[in-house]
Structure 1
Amino acid sequence: MSSAPSRSSLDPLSHALDAAVGQIVDAIVAVGASNPVVLIDGRSGAGKTSLAQRLVGRWPSRGRVQLVALDSLYPGWDGLTAGVEYARANVLMPHARGIVGVWQRWDWDAEAPAEAHAVDPSLPLIVEGSGLLTPSTARLGDVRVWLEAPAASRRRRGIGRDGDTYLPHWDRWAAQEDEHLSRDEPARHATLVLGVP
């Protein structure tokens, strides 16, 4: 076995995400449900998608975990609030009621709804995306995460991920996030407030 440090231990973001996953896993175990719901909110580029994907890989129980990213639901660049409401009505509420939820992916190129996906209420569920923690969604999540990161890091990651596609819309999207923070105070609805560099 090598005594050299792992690549993730040399990457501050990776290390912080691993630590965050550990805290979320502990919270999931404490809930004690077979089908808990985890909600992950944070501004664009904070690391929500990476955190959610790592959480799927380290889920504390066997079986399938469902992951829904709001990037697949927002109806375009002005659709933050509409996407969150769509997730509440079509994903979170059905799951809470024990019925199958159905959502349609938003095709960003065609600017129209695309194929449909089902959400099984008997299985655990992770939903991640900007704008997600609101007074109406918070009561539907067992573990609610607000992920914080410095503005410069977020912008670098967001633009680095999506490049020229996102750059013209960064300020437009950030204004919707500003409104969400002011209106919904998402950190107040979180059971965990976690930070990454």
Structure 2
Amino acid sequence: MEEKIIALTPPVILNPKEGDKIDTLILEGTGKAGAAILMESNFLDGHESPWIKKTEVKSDGHWQYPVIDKGAEIPRELWFRAKQEQYWPPEMSEPSEKVFFTKLLALPVITKPIAGDSLHQHEQMIKGTGLYINTNIEIELTKTTPPALTYHTTTNTDGAGWWEATPKWSLMPGPYVLKCRQIFKEHTSRWSDDLLVTVE
């Protein structure tokens, strides 16, 4: 009786799913423990070769690749597919089906102040990061106790994605919530998480 040969199956893509709209680009799925995961896409580095090894399957059968490839953060329609390669005995699976999804504009990040910091009543300095292409940053500061007051200012990222604002608001002492979002062409990100600060 001949031994039945079971071919290495394609890896399963769990995230993103077909038609998803996401602002944080993390590719993940399942496969054979120890196998290399190769990817083909319209956004990952290495277009000189259609298939690029990006990660390996962990011992629990899961794999993950947080995308840091330059250009992948630009909002647009994306797709990718994956296949897996085991080292011994050497075998390559067939590719998975392509997954098509939409990359949304990611949230900008406030790096200064940090949660719990104090802001000056008249001379504020707010810093952060966003999309490296010249992008508009909207900043909002809201007093959380009466009288409820909201302040706005805008700035732009530089070529490396850093931004800085010195709004010079005249602020009343008390607790505030600071947040921001970014706008690139016709794309607008969600607001960042509330950052609690105090004006003394």
- TM interval, shorter chain, is under 0.3
TM-score (norm 2): 0.25
Tell me which protein shows more strand as a share of its residues. Answer: 2
- Max radius of gyration: which structure? 2
Q: Which is helix-richer, 1 or 2?
A: 1
